[in-house]
Amino acid sequence: MGPLFNANDEWSFVIALVIGIAFGFILESAGFSSSRKLAGVFYGYDFVVLQVFFTAAITAAIGLLFFEYFGWIDLSAIWINKFYVGSAILGGGLMGLGFIIGGFCPGTSACASAIGKIDAMLFLGGFIIGVIIFDLFYPLYKPFYKASSMGASMIYDVLGMNKYVFLLLFVIVAILSFVGTAYIQQRVSKKTKKY
């Protein structure tokens, strides 16, 4: 369901393929196939990952609100995953650790694999093995995984805020992060030039 095409249309797979290729091209153009650039956010010398993700989140959020305003999309029809606090914290920590060690996340490893980077192929292989192991042993940790559910939660609902006020604050935080990370990156690059 959306303003551009109907998901049940026979052209939906062609449109999805074109969008996927465009997305991969943009990821590669932004440098997301480089493990050094991706890991740079953790070491303070390159914040392009943070900037791209913030830009994408703001664009999507503002776009969805405009689409809702013009009646092009029904936000209540969008699927939202349930939020499980404990498993989200553990999973986020493991993913962050893997990101620091390997220099890729699952999506960027697929992007880098597509252009032939061997380290990304190994990382993607490890990701696939991890998914299989997760599936095989799921019954063992299912109680933890499903514990502390908050349902399909929106951040602004949890905080008790109006969604438009939350979006405004989110944009302000993004702009401040752009300014702050530019300052940090400049300081780090000056220090590395001295050595």
Bridge partner list, 84: 149
pTM of the model: 0.70
| 106 burial via Cβ count (<10 Å: 0-12, 13-18, 19+) | middle
Q: How far apart are CA 39 and CA 103, in angstroms?
A: 5
Per-residue pLDDT of 165-178, as tens digits, reads 999 999 999 999 99
Per-residue pLDDT of 52-62, as tens digits, reads 888 889 999 99
Residue 69: pLDDT band (50, 70, 90) is confident
Residue 156 has pLDDT above 90, yes or no: no
If one counts every other C-beta atom within 10 angstroms of the C-beta of residue 164, the result is 10
| 161 burial via Cβ count (<10 Å: 0-12, 13-18, 19+) | middle
Q: How far apart are CA 184 and CA 49, in angstroms?
A: 14
| Mean pLDDT value across the chain | 84
